[in-house]
Amino acid sequence: MSVHPRQGTPALLQIGAILSRLSGKEALSEVSRYLRAEFPHFRWVGVYTLHGETLKLSGWDGDQPTEHVEIPIGRGVCGRAAREKKTVVVEDVRSAPEYLACFLETRAEIVVPILDGDRVLGEIDIDGNEVKAFDSSDAAFLGQVATRLIAPARDVVDPPPSGATSSGALPVVRL
Ligand code: SME
């Protein structure tokens, strides 16, 4: 399965619309929900943000919650993507020794870092239920999604002063 450009382009527009009205964790949760609803091979979608040496789950959508709400950067497929600042595609989780199991049904995983220049702000983590569920088209599409998640991830990692938003808009006083 894959993400065809015919699907990817409108999806990026939808994500842009979500990000124009939401910020921070709300935005990360809503984008997770949208991605899972739009792409059936995305069976569990999460966004982790990086706090020091720990990845923390800041938004997700799936049938079940994961027990891995915090992952040290030294562990798991998620840790590797953050350490190496690279997208990691696992074709079959049963042959990936560092894989941290979340769900019995999971067979494949893709983790795409959210990079702000050289700094890792977090990552998109997606599980699939079939071996080789993800290919280079998923990696390319999710790379584009990741660039759009820089602002909301920054909101979570370095919270803006209260009232300010990542869009740069000043707080509004209503009289
Ligand atoms: N499998 C991941 C852990 C997160 S769960 O997939 C939600 C890993 O190996 O890092």
Range of the domain at 74: 5-157
Q: Which of 66, 70, 100, 106 to mutate for ligand 1's pocket (most ligand atoms within 8 Å of CB)?
A: 100
Is there a domain that residue 173 lies in? no
Is there a domain that residue 123 lies in? yes
From 116, 93, 96, select the one nearest 104 (Cα to Cα): 93
Alpha helix stretches (DSSP H) within 39-135: 76-84
Summarised one tens digit per residue, pLDDT across range 131-173 is 999 999 999 999 999 999 999 999 999 887 776 666 667 888 8
Q: Which amino acid is at 71?
A: I
Is there a domain that residue 140 lies in? yes
Measured distance CA(153)–CA(109) in Å, rounded? 21
Count the domains in the chain.
1
Asked whether the predicted pLDDT for residue 1 surpasses 90, the reply is: no
- The domain that contains 107 carries what CATH number? 3.30.450.40
Question: Where residue 2 falls among pLDDT bands split at 50, 70, 90?
Answer: confident
pLDDT value at position 166? 61
Is there a domain that residue 174 lies in? no
| Mean per-residue pLDDT of the chain | 94
Is there a domain that residue 166 lies in? no
Token pair of 67 as six digits: 């027990």
Is there a domain that residue 94 lies in? yes
Q: Which amino acid is at 87?
A: T
The SS3 of residue 128 is strand
Is there a domain that residue 165 lies in? no
Q: Which of 109, 126, 129 to mutate for ligand 1's pocket (most ligand atoms within 8 Å of CB)?
A: 109
Q: How many CB atoms lie within 10 A of CB 90?
A: 24
C-alpha 174, offset from chain centre: 35
Is there a domain that residue 146 lies in? yes
Q: How many residues does the chain have?
A: 175
Nearest CA to ligand 1 atom 3: 100
Span 75-101, mean pLDDT? 96
pLDDT value at position 169? 73
